[in-house]
Structure 1
Amino acid sequence: MFDRLSAYAPQALAVLRIVAALLFIAHGTQKLFGFPAADWSPEAFSMPWFAGVIEIITSVMIAAGFFTRPAAFLASGTMAVAYWTMHAPASVYPTNNGGDAAILFCFVFLYLVFAGPGAWSVNKK
């Protein structure tokens, strides 16, 4: 029964790519534009500010399926750095240090590096 679902794997991958990118862009817009509402905004040209720029640019590219693999590689690395520099020092446990989203984004984007964009991408061959 579930074997028939494999035919929809490219579409499911595309849905994962698009949803993850749309969630990811909110982190960048929150840092750079204060939307959705944020308690703080980073100083211009600081590490969190550059992270926000990377989050916005890579999420747009990933959502569109435009150079998905390199954009996902950069986004994945950004989330790894964010986790180890901002979250991990606060606690060993990701649920306590607020880093569970960073870990999840890191590995979803890392998966996209290897799996590609799936269906519905600008660079579809």
Structure 2
Amino acid sequence: MSTNRMLQPMAPIFLAILRVVAGILLFEHGTQKILHFPVSEMHPPMFSLLWVGGILEIVGGALIVLGLFTRISAFVLSGMMAVAYFMFHAPSSLYPANNGGDAAILFCFIFLYLVFAGPGSFSLDGKRK
């Protein structure tokens, strides 16, 4: 049996795992900004750009974890992470390893992938259909 034929049936399951892990990590970034958990020095003022980003991270992260409105949520979050990278990380250095933007780039492209791939297995989007 070829490796491709053996692994291909597992792709939707591992897509769902990627979706859930990315959603949980993004959710955590939002709770850190808005709810101060886990404890952080970051306390953005209400309605500031960082605060709005934190709200999007909480709501969008939860939707991604649940696999609910996955494509549209992932589209919004991918754009948000691109903006975050270019506004907050890129100005300090050209190199992501130096400017702390590695996670923003990864989130951006993971969410962009979810726009096209969909939620995978075990999603509320799948149950709604």
Q: TM-score range by the shorter chain?
A: over 0.9
> Which residues of 2 match residues 12-27 of structure 1 at below 5 A?
12-27=14-29
> Which residues of 2 match residues 1-125 of structure 1 at below 5 A?
1-3=2-4, 4-124=6-126, 125=129
Task: Tell me how far 1:39 sits from its aligned partner.
Answer: 1.4
Task: Tell me how far 1:95 sits from its aligned partner.
Answer: 0.7
Task: Tell me how far 1:2 sits from its aligned partner.
Answer: 1.8
Partner Cα separation in structure 2 for residue 60 and residue 2 of structure 1: 34
Q: Secondary structure at the match of 2:125?
A: coil
- Give unpaired runs (5+ residues) of structure 1: none
Q: Secondary structure at the match of 1:58?
A: helix
Partner Cα separation in structure 1 for residue 105 and residue 42 of structure 2: 22
Number of aligned residues = 125
Partner Cα separation in structure 1 for residue 43 and residue 111 of structure 2: 25
Q: Find runs of 4+ consecutive structure 1 residues off by over 3 angstroms.
A: none
Partner Cα separation in structure 2 for residue 74 and residue 11 of structure 1: 23
Task: Tell me how far 1:40 sits from its aligned partner.
Answer: 2.1
Q: Secondary structure at the match of 1:36?
A: coil
Q: Which amino acid in 2 is paired with 1:21?
A: G
Query: Percent of aligned pairs with the same residue?
Result: 54
Measured on the aligned residues, the alpha-carbon RMSD in Å equals 0.7
Q: Which moved more, 1:12-21 or 1:1-10?
A: 1-10
Q: Secondary structure at the match of 1:118?
A: coil
Q: Secondary structure at the match of 1:42?
A: coil
TM-score by length of 2: 0.95
